[in-house]
Structure 1
């Protein structure tokens, strides 16, 4: 939750009028994270002060997988629940273990066609083989857009560029993408 990229994005979202809820859980286990994320979703719905629909879920690395899994589950319950998923450095496979890409992309491939997905990944991400990623994207029913950070690592670090300048590019893309999706919503 306190990764500088997530803090930067949350501040930019808030400054552009978007409500952004950030939270974390201590475990790296995907099932544990999904349970925690679902509990937050259920709590928001119980508040009854908000109409919770057409939301964007997002995360960084393992948080992307949890966001995609929750979006998949909620989309099965209601088509109006999820507008999109934002994936910063989706971990398609562990470093050097590209065989894991099918299992790790299962939730992405199962997202319905009305869901939109934005991927932000570095071209040098050792957890996102480009060939396997392209295959995964082709197999997805959801509408996909990708921002490739030239020379970017899994941590969204780009040699020769400051973290601030990289995050300015990422934040601008995410905000414009969300606005574009909201404008296209029925």
Structure 2
């Protein structure tokens, strides 16, 4: 939750009028994370003091898998529950184990066509082979935009570039995409 990328993005979103709720799950287990995301979702929906709408869910690495799983779950319950999904550094496979990409991308591929998705990944991400990910996206019903951070690692760092310049570039991509979605 306190990754510099997530803090920077939350501040960039807030400075443009977006409410950004951040939380963390200590366990790496996907099922546990989806339950935690769901609990936060249920809490937000129970608030009677506020009307919560135009919700986008997202995460970084395993958090993006959990966000896709929750969005898929919620879309089965209501078509307008979630407006879109943002995946930073989607972990398509463990390093060197590209054979598990189908299982890891099941929820992402299962998102309905009305739910737009933004994926931000580095071209040097050892957990997201670019060609394999682009083939996975072709299998999706959703409209997907991929922003490939040139030279970016799984941690969205780029050798030879300042961290702040990379953060600014990623934040601009997310905010531009959200604006295109009418958020």
| TM-score normalised by length of structure 1 | 0.96
Deviations for 1:16-67, whole angstroms, at most 9, x for unmatched residues?
0000000001101000000111000011111122333331001000000000
Residue by residue over 1:53-98, the C-alpha shift from the partner in whole angstroms, topping out at 9 and shown as x without a partner, is 3310010000000000000001111111111111110000000000
In the alignment, is the contact (CA less than 8 A) between 1:13 and 1:19 conserved in 2? Answer: yes
Residue 88 of structure 1 corresponds to which residue in structure 2?
88
Q: Distance between the aligned counterparts of 2:109 and 2:53, measured in 1?
A: 22
CA-atom RMSD in angstroms: 0.9
Gaps of at least 5 residues in structure 2 are none
SS in 2 for 1:82: coil
Structure 1 residue aligned with 2:162: 162
CA distance 1:125–1:149, change in 2 (3 Å): same
Q: Using the alignment, how far apart are the partners of 1:152 and 1:77 within structure 2?
A: 36
Counterpart in 1 of 2:41?
A: 41
Any residues of structure 2 matched to 1:112-151 within 5 Å, and which? 112-151=112-151
Q: Structure 1: how far apart are the matches of 2:10 and 2:146?
A: 20
Q: Number of residue pairs matched? A: 183
The 2-side partners of 1:14 and 1:53 are apart by 16
Query: Normalising by structure 2, what TM-score?
Result: 0.98
Report what 2:3 is aligned to: 3
Q: List structure 1 runs of 4+ shifted beyond 4 angstroms.
A: none
